[in-house]
């Protein structure tokens, strides 16, 4: 059994030793030390608040701040020495501060503060900074897609439903569709950052601060937009963690679908795109293989993020108010999701910026049966109801198949008139893929003007 430790922030009540396994089970330093900078910054500003109350004098504040900066540099330079009893980042930092400036002064930094509001503050600072960084990286990723869309606006390809060729579209229209998904992710992330950026500091364990600390002063010093108005909620709220995990899950769902499309397009059967060597691997057995491992990993890593969200929601779904140790389970899925998303954005940006498209293969994949709807639309413009023209166009497709023709464009004008005498000779102009995409010029369509407008609108939203 381990010996009772005076270094534990909660140790005064206990006289017996704890099970060593319990110490290990309870410890969070191995993963929460990533928040060392936020913890030190929170303590720095909190002690300024205590100084305003006269609970720490100016000389003590100076000593505390000097010690905090020494500790910050030790973490930065990987020189911080962890010791038994450092169960979390808060304990480790306070223990080290006592070694540097003496326990008498260091012992004052926790006055009126609980680890409950301390950890909530650390996490909000840490998550805010990580999300702001993700926002910048996501912006770059979307801009990369949009630039590619502008450069390759003239490339046509099949659009698919049910993974079957449906109608001709522009490659840039496909790029724009995912840029739209990711731009919505971008906007959602901005909203989450706003909700994350509220301060719980100064709420103590749950009931509030006994010395009347200026919480607005603390919030301003830490870059928060405001304070959480209820002390019970402040120390126990983990909605910002759930929202971050949900956002990460939704983003990874989009990146997974994006990757799946590109995996399909990179196969020899499609041959629409070719990934750069930097984002591909070979086979240990088959020398001809070039595998899209970057895209498969993007698709696969979405699962770990999804699982992290589900696990965390199960951990918090039935806990009573206010703080409970179950909440310690928030950090590992959160940290893992933030790292996975960051790496995924960077990899996806690299993939998009370096892949090469096969314009000829894309356009060769267009087949005349994809213009069957255009044939129906032709008669609609002559006043025939669409439900009727849909049936007529279907007859044309069927007749071309029965005659073993390569497409409906191979039907003669006379054969078309046998199906419906309302076809005129100008019907043959329908069988043009460029004409087909250019007809779809309404907002959101695949005409050149419509796609360029989409790209422009998305650029404006990012700015």
CATH code (residue 407)? 1.10.40.30
Do the beta carbons of residue 241 and residue 334 sit within 8 Å?
Answer: yes
What is the β-pairing status of strands 226-227 and 198-199? parallel
321 catalytic? Reply is no
CATH number for 55: 1.10.275.10
Considering the domain boundaries, does residue 451 fall inside one? no
322 preceded by cis ω (within 30°)?
yes
The closest of 189, 191, 194, 199 to 224, measured between CA atoms, is 199
DSSP string, 87-123: -SHHHHHHHHHHHHH-HHHHTTTTTT--HHHHHHHHH
pLDDT value at 381 more than 70: yes
pLDDT value at 394 more than 50: yes
Radius of gyration (Cα) for the chain, nearest Å?
31
DSSP string, 179-198: HHHHHHHHHHHHHHHHHH-E
Of 283, 406, 412, 449, the catalytic one is 283
Q: Tell whether 36 and 140 lie within a shared domain.
A: no
The closest of 135, 169, 179, 147 to 353, measured between CA atoms, is 147
Token code pair at residue 15 = 């006289």
Token code pair at residue 207 = 């009931």
Token code pair at residue 239 = 């909605």
Considering the domain boundaries, does residue 272 fall inside one? yes
Tell me what pLDDT residue 21 has: 73
pLDDT value at 311 more than 50: yes
Q: Tell whether 376 and 357 lie within a shared domain.
A: no
Tens-place pLDDT, residues 180-223: 999 999 999 999 999 999 999 999 999 999 999 999 999 999 99
Q: Tell whether 88 and 125 lie within a shared domain.
A: no
Token code pair at residue 435 = 């004409």
Considering the domain boundaries, does residue 447 fall inside one? no
Considering the domain boundaries, does residue 5 fall inside one? no
Q: Tell whether 375 and 360 lie within a shared domain.
A: no
Q: Tell me how far apart the alpha carbons of residues 379 and 394 are, in angstroms, rounded to a whole number.
A: 13
Q: Which residues pair with 220 in a beta bridge?
A: none
Do the beta carbons of residue 182 and residue 141 sit within 8 Å?
Answer: yes
Whole-model pTM over 0.95: no
Q: Tell me how far apart the alpha carbons of residues 252 and 300 are, in angstroms, rounded to a whole number.
A: 10
Tens-place pLDDT, residues 273-292: 999 999 987 665 665 668 89
Considering the domain boundaries, does residue 194 fall inside one? yes
Q: Tell whether 94 and 237 lie within a shared domain.
A: no
Q: Tell whether 173 and 290 lie within a shared domain.
A: yes
Domain range enclosing 387: 368-431
162 catalytic? Reply is yes
The closest of 257, 240, 44 to 130, measured between CA atoms, is 240
pLDDT value at 3 more than 80: no
Q: Tell whether 87 and 133 lie within a shared domain.
A: no
pLDDT over 90 for what percent of the chain? 88
Identify which has the larger pLDDT, 3 or 407.
407
Q: Tell me how far apart the alpha carbons of residues 86 and 9 are, in angstroms, rounded to a whole number.
A: 10
DSSP string, 115-164: HHHHHHHHHHHHHHHHHHHHHHHHHHHHHHHHHHHHHTTT-EEEEEETTE
Token code pair at residue 265 = 């397009």
Tell me what pLDDT residue 17 has: 57
pLDDT value at 238 more than 70: yes
Q: Tell whether 353 and 233 lie within a shared domain.
A: yes
Tens-place pLDDT, residues 396-419: 999 999 999 988 999 999 999 999
Q: Tell whether 268 and 401 lie within a shared domain.
A: no
Tens-place pLDDT, residues 36-65: 999 999 999 999 999 999 999 999 999 999
Across 177-246, where does the E strand assignment appear? 198-199, 226-227
pLDDT value at 335 more than 60: yes
Considering the domain boundaries, does residue 439 fall inside one? no
Q: Tell whether 229 and 358 lie within a shared domain.
A: yes
Q: Which residues pair with 161 in a beta bridge?
A: 164
What average pLDDT does this structure show over 146-167?
97
The closest of 85, 130, 132, 90 to 110, measured between CA atoms, is 90
Considering the domain boundaries, does residue 461 fall inside one? no
The number of domains in the chain is 3
CATH number for 246: 1.20.200.10
Tens-place pLDDT, residues 72-102: 999 999 999 999 889 899 999 999 999 999 9
Q: What is each CA distance from 4 to 8, 11, 208, 283, 301, in whole angstroms?
A: 9, 7, 29, 56, 42
Sequence-separated (6 or more) residues with CB below 8 Å from residue 56: 47, 50, 64, 108, 109, 111
Of 2, 28, 110, 162, the catalytic one is 162
Q: Tell whether 244 and 129 lie within a shared domain.
A: yes
Considering the domain boundaries, does residue 415 fall inside one? yes
Q: Tell whether 98 and 122 lie within a shared domain.
A: no
Do the beta carbons of residue 228 and residue 199 sit within 8 Å?
Answer: yes
């Amino acid at each position: 059994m381990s010996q009772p430790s005076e270094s534990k922030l909660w140790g005064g009540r206990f006289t017996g030793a704890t099970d060593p396994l319990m110490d290990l089970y309870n410890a969070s330093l191995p993963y929460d030390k990533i928040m060392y900078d936020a913890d030190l910054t929170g303590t720095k500003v909190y002690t300024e608040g205590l100084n305003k109350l006269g609970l720490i004098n100016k000389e003590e504040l100076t000593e505390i701040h000097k010690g905090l900066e020494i500790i910050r540099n030790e973490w930065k330079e990987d020189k911080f020495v962890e010791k038994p009893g450092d169960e979390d980042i808060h304990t480790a930092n306070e223990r080290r501060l006592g070694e540097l400036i003496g326990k008498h002064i260091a012992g004052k930094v926790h006055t009126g503060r609980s680890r409950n509001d301390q950890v909530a503050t650390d996490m909000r600072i840490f998550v805010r900074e990580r999300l702001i960084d993700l926002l910048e990286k996501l912006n770059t990723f979307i801009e990369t897609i949009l630039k590619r869309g502008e450069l390759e606006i003239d490339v046509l390809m099949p659009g698919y439903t049910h993974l079957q060729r449906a109608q001709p579209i522009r490659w840039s229209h496909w790029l724009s569709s995912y840029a739209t998904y990711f731009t919505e992710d971008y906007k959602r992330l901005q909203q989450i950052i706003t909700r994350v950026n509220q301060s719980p500091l100064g709420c103590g364990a749950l009931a509030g601060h006994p010395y009347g600390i200026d919480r607005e002063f603390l919030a301003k010093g830490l870059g928060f937009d405001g304070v959480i108005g209820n002390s019970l909620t402040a120390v126990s709220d983990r909605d910002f963690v759930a929202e971050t995990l949900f956002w990460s899950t939704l983003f990874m769902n989009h990146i997974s679908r994006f990757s799946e499309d590109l995996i399909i397009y990179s196969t020899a059967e499609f041959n629409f795109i070719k990934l750069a060597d930097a984002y591909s691997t070979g086979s240990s057995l088959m020398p001809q293989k070039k595998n899209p491992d970057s895209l498969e990993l993007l698709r696969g890593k979405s699962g770990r993020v999804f699982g992290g969200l589900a696990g965390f929601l199960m951990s918090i779904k039935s806990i009573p108010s206010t703080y409970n140790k179950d909440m310690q389970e928030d950090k590992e899925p959160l940290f893992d999701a933030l790292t996975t998303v960051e790496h995924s954005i960077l990899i996806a940006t690299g993939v998009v910026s370096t892949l090469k498209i096969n314009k000829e293969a894309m356009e060769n994949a267009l087949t005349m049966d994809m213009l069957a709807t255009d044939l129906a639309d032709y008669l609609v413009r002559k006043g025939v109801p669409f439900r009727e023209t849909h049936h007529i166009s279907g007859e044309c497709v069927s007749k071309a198949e029965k005659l073993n023709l390569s497409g409906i464009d191979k039907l003669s004008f006379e054969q078309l008139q046998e199906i419906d005498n309302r076809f005129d000779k100008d019907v043959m102009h329908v069988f043009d893929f460029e004409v087909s995409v250019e007809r779809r010029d309404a907002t959101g369509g695949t005409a050149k003007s419509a796609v360029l407008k989409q790209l422009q609108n998305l650029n404006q939203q990012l700015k």
